[in-house]
A and B are shown apart, each in its own frame.
Chain A
C-alpha cells in the first residue's frame, strides 16, 4: 500500500493523510495508491500540508507501518528520546521502529 505524508506548514509536524484530513498518527493513514499525486497537489495548494509525498507501507496488526526504517523513525519520533515520541508510555515502541 501507499500512504501520503508531509509536514504541517506552521509547525513542521509530521502528518499523514487520513482520507479527509491530516493526522499526527500514522495509524490513521489510508491507502492512496493511484490518487497520491492528485491529493498531494490539492492539499498543498490549500496549504493544509507542506511538501507531501507518498511512501510504501505494510499493514501491521491492522494499521499502516511504513516500509522503510527512516519513515518509521519519522512517524514515531527519535528512538533515543522515547519521551519525545508520540507514544512515550509504550515500552515496546522501539520494536515497531526496528
Chain B
C-alpha cells in the first residue's frame, strides 16, 4: 500500500502544527467560533449532538495493521473506547475534546493518516472498491488512480472552495461495489483494445435530490485522467450554484444544463487544459503503482474447506468472496452483530482485526462503504483459525449482504442534522430476522437506513430503504423499495404513508413475506420487485 514520501509527510505535519495554533487561539479567545469553525471543519472536526466529532480519512478504505492499531489507540486514549466506520470508508470518533484534537492529528500523522478534507466544500476522501487488488473481475487495481487523484485534490487551490462538497469513487470492474454512479464523479477503469482508460460518470448523488450519474466519456486515456477530472471540476466550479446550498451539488448543474451541454463544456475545457499540460508526469503514476504491487502470495493450492463445523461453514459461505489468486479468498468481518450498532467497533476489536490482518492478510485491511471490514488476502487454509478468533470477539456474524447487514447512519442518536434515530430501527430489524431464522433464506437483501434527507445511510439505494423524518416532533419512517447502488443501479420508490418505529419493522417483515410468496427460483429480492412492481407490496402494507 501507499507510503508517504517526504512531501506527503511534510504537508501533513505542517497542517498539524497549523491546526494546533488555530485551536490554541480558539481556546484563548483570539478566534471566535465563527472564525474557527471553517478552520476546524477543514480538519474534520465537527461540533455534533453530544460533543466534538472527528472524521478521519481512510483513502480508498485501505489500512495496514499499524494504522488500525493507531485508530484503536486514539479510541482508547481520547474517546470512549470505540469508533464508527462510515459509508465513505472513513472512521469517526464521537466524544473528542477540542483541547486534544491537535494531539490526535499528530498521532495520526505518525502513521501517515490525517483528517484533511473530510469536511467542507472540497474534494472529499476518494473511495474505491473494497476488494481492489484482490477481485478476480477487475481489469486493474483501481487504487493507484485513486491515490493519484488524492494527491491532485489535496489542497488543490482552485477546488478548496467549491459550491458544495464533492465526492469521487474509482472502480475497475463491471461489478460496482462502491456505489460509483451515485457519486459526483464516478470513474471506472476500463480496457479497450488492450489499453486501459477511464470512463467518467458525472452528476450522481443521493441526498434530497437523488440522481444516477450519466456517462459523459466512455474512454479517457489514463495519461489524461487528472486533466479530464480537472475539466469536470472547472465547469462545475464556474457554473455550480452558490446561491442555494440545496441546489449546489454538481448533479443539479448537470441536470439543469443537460448532460450533453455539460459534456460539451467539459470537452472544451479539456482541450484547453491539454494545451496547458496540467497532467502529472507518468513517472509519478508509475511511482505510485509500485506501492500497490501484488503481495507475494504463497503458492497455495485451492484447498478444500473442512466444513465439519456448521457455524464455520455458514460463515465461510456467506462472508468470503473469490480471490484472483488460487488458494486465497477475501474475508469480510461483519460489524453488524444482530442488535449491535452498524459500523461500530471497539478498540479491542480494532486491534484484533489489525493483528489478524498482519498474520493472515498480507497486513492489509479495507473499510467497506457498507460499514464492514475486509481482510482482502486470506489463504483458504487459514480461514478456520481466522474465523475462530473473529467469532470469539463478536466479529463472526455470517450475514454479508443479508437483511441483517444494514447500512445505518448515526441518526438522531449522534447527529445534529438527523430528524429520527436510525440505529434502533436497524437493531430491531436485524434482531427480528436473526431470531426468526429467515435471514439465510431471504438471501441477498440490501437494507439501508438514513435519519434525514441527507441520505448518509444510502436509503435511496436500498433494495429496501428507510428514511427517518420528523412528523410534528415525533419520529416517523418512510419505506421505499427497489433501489440499488450496484452495477444495476436504480433509485428506490416510496411505498406510501410512513410508519412509527415498531411499525416500520413490521412493514419490512411484511415486504419480505411478499417476496417469499412471489419469488421465482434464483431471484433476489430486487429481481422480484423489478418483475412484479410496487403494487403487491403496497397491497400487503396498506390493504
- Mask: chain B, 453-483; 1 = CB below 8 Å from A; 0 = not: 0000000000000000000011100000000
Pick the contact of A14 from B50, B418, B473 — CB < 8 Å?
A: B50
Report B402-431 residues with CB < 8 Å from chain A CB.
412-414, 416, 418-419, 421, 423-424, 427
Interface size on A, residues (CB 8 A): 23
Contacts of A50 in B (CB 8 A): 33, 47
Count A-B pairs with CB separation below 8 Å.
Answer: 68
Report how far A47 CA is from B36 CA in the complex, Å. Answer: 14
Report how far A47 CA is from B52 CA in the complex, Å. Answer: 16
Contacts of B99 in A (CB 8 A): 10-11
Contacts of B424 in A (CB 8 A): 79-80
Report how far A49 CA is from B325 CA in the complex, Å. Answer: 57
Contact status of A80 and B427, CB under 8 A, knowing A10-B27, A47-B29, A69-B473 = yes
Report A42-56 residues with CB < 8 Å from chain B CB.
44, 47, 50-51
Report how far A51 CA is from B51 CA in the complex, Å. Answer: 12
A70 and B97 form a contact (CB under 8 A): no
Pick the contact of B423 from A7, A12, A80 — CB < 8 Å?
A: A80
B414 and A78 form a contact (CB under 8 A): yes
Q: How large is the interface on B (under 10, 10 to 19, 20 to 34, 35 or more residues)?
A: 20 to 34
B50 and A69 form a contact (CB under 8 A): no
B49 and A74 form a contact (CB under 8 A): yes
Contacts of B98 in A (CB 8 A): 9-12
- Mask: chain A, 1-20; 1 = CB below 8 Å from B; 0 = not: 00000010111111000000
Contacts of A7 in B (CB 8 A): 47, 51
Report how far A68 CA is from B270 CA in the complex, Å. Answer: 51
**Does chain B have a CB within 8 A of A59?**
no
Report how far A13 CA is from B96 CA in the complex, Å. Answer: 9
- Mask: chain A, 62-92; 1 = CB below 8 Å from B; 0 = not: 0000011110011001111100100000000
Min CB distance A91 to B, Å, is 16
Min CB distance B502 to A, Å, is 12
Min CB distance A32 to B, Å, is 20
Contacts of B29 in A (CB 8 A): 47
B473 and A67 form a contact (CB under 8 A): yes
Pick the contact of B413 from A9, A44, A78 — CB < 8 Å?
A: A78
Pick the contact of B49 from A68, A73, A81 — CB < 8 Å?
A: A73
Pick the contact of B97 from A11, A69, A78 — CB < 8 Å?
A: A11
**Does chain A have a CB within 8 A of B341?**
yes
Report how far A70 CA is from B468 CA in the complex, Å. Answer: 13
**Does chain A have a CB within 8 A of B80?**
yes
Which interface residue of B27, B49, B99 has the most chain A CB atoms within 10 A? Answer: B49
B51 and A11 form a contact (CB under 8 A): yes
Report how far A79 CA is from B58 CA in the complex, Å. Answer: 28
Report how far A79 CA is from B426 CA in the complex, Å. Answer: 13
A sample of 17 inter-chain contacts (CB < 8 A) reads A7-B51, A9-B26, A10-B27, A10-B97, A11-B98, A12-B51, A12-B52, A47-B29, A69-B412, A69-B474, A69-B475, A73-B412, A74-B49, A78-B50, A80-B424, A80-B427, A84-B95
Residue positions of B touching A, CB distance < 8 A: 26-27, 29, 33, 47, 49-52, 80, 95-99, 341, 412-414, 416, 418-419, 421, 423-424, 427, 473-475
Known: A14-B50, A73-B421, A80-B423. 11 other contacts (CB 8 A): A7-B51, A10-B99, A12-B51, A13-B50, A50-B47, A69-B473, A74-B49, A78-B413, A80-B413, A81-B413, A84-B95
Q: Which 5 residue pairs across A and B have the least CB separation, nearest first?
A: A12-B51, A12-B52, A78-B413, A80-B423, A11-B97
